[in-house]
Amino acid sequence: MIYPKNSVILAPLSGFTDLPYRRSARRHGCVYAFTEMVDAGSLVYRNFRTMKMLKRGEEEAWLGLQLIAADKDILKKATQIVNEKNFDVIDFNLGCPAPKVVKKGEGAALGEKIDKAVSVFEVLVRTSQIPVTVKIRILDEENPAPTVELASKLCDAGAQAITVHGRVRTKFYAGPVYHDVISAVREAVTCPLIANGSVFDFESFCEIRKNTGCDSVMVARGAMGNPWLFDELLMGLKEEDNGSVLWQPPNAREFADEIFMHISEMVEFYGLELGLTIARKVILDYMRGRGFARVLKTHVIEIASIDDLKQFTECLAEGPTERYMLWLEKHETAVRRLRR
């Protein structure tokens, strides 16, 4: 079995789940994680940025790589390259809804063409020397049959696990997650199924597990700027039998220290200028929804050195606005919390 019961898996997030990002998540309990989504064509042509995405930390006990492709020959060549690397699993992307991906007939666009998708996936299964999994989206919000057909055929083709995101392609990441469709797929397939979609806290984690019957869950946007989500979910799993959840959100000092460590590792990984440029979106993700003054967010673009980063995070360590902290006292179930 690829994942043991009650696994919490960090999704492959394009533009985010590089080595520093995964290290941040792992500091908070994440075991199962993926590289960013890797374009098979870029891998075949040894694109520098793509090759850097394959970097695995010495401390990473488990790491998967996700490939995206629609061309069989390209996918075969890319898989042969991955065979020479050190990964625990190759995941095939049939769920990405990004326009630039869909335009090429890849990701969710390929997933909508069931027989073609399965035919391409079979090339990966035949070529790979390591276990192969696949990530899909539901194909219809009302009728589970098309999604069941896709998942069943992928399972028969050799998928050792399937992750299902409970939204159709055109909804991207908005609107309800159709747990009932994921549940129908789980009941129909013989390989392990992982539920995915809008897991932001322990409550939503429990809800998707209960409604779909899947014991393992993949988290994506919920972990963006919030590596503490793994602490919350994993501690919740340990405590759910006796009904208590002991997890506490970070305080402002812990929050600031994690950001400094994460971005410092990005600078080490990419170099100063590129690392700090890429880091802007990461810092803003950390700050989002946590009550920091808007003017402080505007200073993110001004960070040009490690000293600047240190000064900025020291400002974060002073905490969000008092108004926000008072608001939290009245909204105890709010996600992305900070404690005093």
Structure tokens at 97: 């809804």
pLDDT of residue 245: 58
Please check whether residues 55 and 150 belong to one and the same domain: yes
Contact 249, 338 (CB under 8 A): yes
The verdict on residue 338 lying in a domain is: no
Please check whether residues 206 and 82 belong to one and the same domain: yes
The Cα–Cα gap between 228 and 239 comes to 16
What CATH number does the domain containing 46 carry? Answer: 3.20.20.70
Please check whether residues 236 and 271 belong to one and the same domain: no
Please check whether residues 157 and 293 belong to one and the same domain: no
The one-character DSSP state at 207 is H
Contact 249, 339 (CB under 8 A): yes
Whole domain around residue 284: which residue ranges?
Answer: 252-323
Please check whether residues 306 and 164 belong to one and the same domain: no
pTM of the predicted model as reported, rounded to 2 decimal places = 0.95
Per residue of the chain (340 residues), give pLDDT as tens: 899 999 999 999 999 999 999 999 999 999 999 999 999 999 999 899 999 999 999 999 999 999 999 999 999 999 999 999 999 999 999 999 999 999 999 999 999 999 999 999 999 999 999 999 999 999 999 999 999 999 999 999 999 999 999 999 999 999 999 999 999 999 999 999 999 999 999 999 999 999 999 999 999 999 999 999 999 999 998 876 555 557 889 999 999 999 999 999 999 999 999 999 999 999 999 999 999 999 999 999 999 999 999 999 999 999 999 999 999 988 888 888 899 8
List, in order, residues 6 or more apart from 289 with CB less than 8 Å away. Answer: 335, 336
Query: pLDDT tens across 31-65, in order?
Result: 999 999 999 999 999 899 999 999 999 999 999 99
Question: At which of 217, 242, 267 does a domain end?
Answer: 242
The verdict on residue 330 lying in a domain is: no
Please check whether residues 101 and 160 belong to one and the same domain: yes
Please check whether residues 18 and 139 belong to one and the same domain: yes
The verdict on residue 339 lying in a domain is: no
pLDDT of residue 244: 54
Q: Between the CA atoms of 94, 95, 101 and 105, what dihedral angle is there, to the nearest 10 degrees? A: 40
pLDDT of residue 128: 98
* DSSP three-state, residue 225: coil
**Positions of E strands within the chain:** 8-10, 32-39, 64-68, 89-94, 132-137, 162-165, 193-196, 216-219
Phi, psi of 223 (to 5 degrees): -95, -5
The verdict on residue 155 lying in a domain is: yes
The Cα–Cα gap between 180 and 182 comes to 5
The verdict on residue 179 lying in a domain is: yes
Question: At which of 197, 218, 242 does a domain end?
Answer: 242
Please check whether residues 106 and 219 belong to one and the same domain: yes
- DSSP for 153-190, written as a single string: HHHHHT-S-EEEESS-GGGTT-S---HHHHHHHHHH-S
Query: Which neighbouring-strand residues pair with 133?
Result: 91
Q: Are strands 64-68 and 32-39 parallel, antiparallel or unpaired?
A: parallel
Q: Which residues are catalytic?
A: 96
Please check whether residues 130 and 223 belong to one and the same domain: yes
The verdict on residue 236 lying in a domain is: yes
Please check whether residues 167 and 272 belong to one and the same domain: no
The verdict on residue 328 lying in a domain is: no
What is the count of structural domains for the chain? Answer: 2
Please check whether residues 92 and 190 belong to one and the same domain: yes
The verdict on residue 334 lying in a domain is: no
Please check whether residues 205 and 73 belong to one and the same domain: yes
Largest CA distance in the chain: 58
pLDDT of residue 160: 98
* DSSP three-state, residue 296: helix
